[in-house]
Amino acid sequence: MPLEHVYQRNMHHKSHKSGWLRAAVLGANDGLVSNASLLIGIAAAGKISLLPLTGIAGIAAGSMSMAVGEYISVQSQSDIEEADRKMEIEHLAIDPEGELEELAEIYVERGLPRDLARQVAEKFTEKNALEAHLRDELGHFEMHKARPLQAAIASALSFAIGGAIPLLGALMPTTSGKVWMIVLFTLIGLVGTGVTSSKLAGSPLVRTVLRVFIGGSLGMLITAGIGSLVHI
Ligand SMILES: [Zn+2]
């Protein structure tokens, strides 16, 4: 890894932004690919007049499904965190000395000498025992806390925005070139989500954009194939 990369990475940690922004980029990407595929399927089957209705239905169905899916997945994560938290509160109440020793043991494993580990554990326990256990034993951080509603809204909205892009392509004033307009708009959108996702993750630009681009194109190609097969 080039030195400037290491440097940049240390200057701007990305992981704290991972939650709802990740959901938003994924949602936009899903919206682009699934609505484009849907529209191309319909256009390839020759049902041009159905394109606007199909696009809107696709956006509505997709955003709802994204919202529900994301909500359930993040909520179950949040349930697990909550159960862990309750268990930790119980353990601290029943066996404070054992918990203190457990915390010290964690710091020893991370490389501190035993007496220093014990000191650190005592200080953290004094300040906020529960917080220290949640953080250092279970890896819970307040900024990473699962937020189901926020994630659900972010992914539904971004799916709708992503899905609107191929629909715009379908609405372009051409009759023979509909498929190509949908493809063109979608590919431009995919470059957009690829660039955003690389910026968010701090991952290499070209590789990330290519990955998103190729994945999306494959999706469209396959449904175009299915659409022209079931030409009815
Ligand atoms: Zn504990």
Q: Half-sphere exposure of 14 toward its Cβ, with a 13 Å CA cutoff?
A: 14
Domain assignment present for residue 59? The answer is yes
Per-run averaged pLDDT (10 residues), the chain, 232 residues: 43 54 84 92 87 96 93 89 92 94 95 95 94 90 79 92 96 85 92 87 85 84 74 56
What distance in angstroms lies between residue 103's CA and the mean position of ligand 1's atoms?
7
What distance in angstroms lies between residue 164's CA and the mean position of ligand 1's atoms?
48
Domain assignment present for residue 161? The answer is yes
Domain assignment present for residue 1? The answer is no
Q: Is the CB of residue 70 less than 8 Å from the CB of residue 152?
A: yes
pLDDT at residue 169, rounded to an integer:
94
CB atoms within 10 A of CB 139: 10
Domain assignment present for residue 223? The answer is yes
What distance in angstroms lies between residue 110's CA and the mean position of ligand 1's atoms?
16
pLDDT at residue 19, rounded to an integer:
62
Number of domains in the chain: 1
Domain assignment present for residue 44? The answer is yes
Q: Is the CB of residue 164 less than 8 Å from the CB of residue 185?
A: no
Domain assignment present for residue 2? The answer is no
What distance in angstroms lies between residue 87's CA and the mean position of ligand 1's atoms?
9
pTM, 2 dp? 0.72
pLDDT at residue 8, rounded to an integer:
42
By residue range, what is the domain housing residue 167?
17-229
Domain assignment present for residue 89? The answer is yes
Domain assignment present for residue 38? The answer is yes
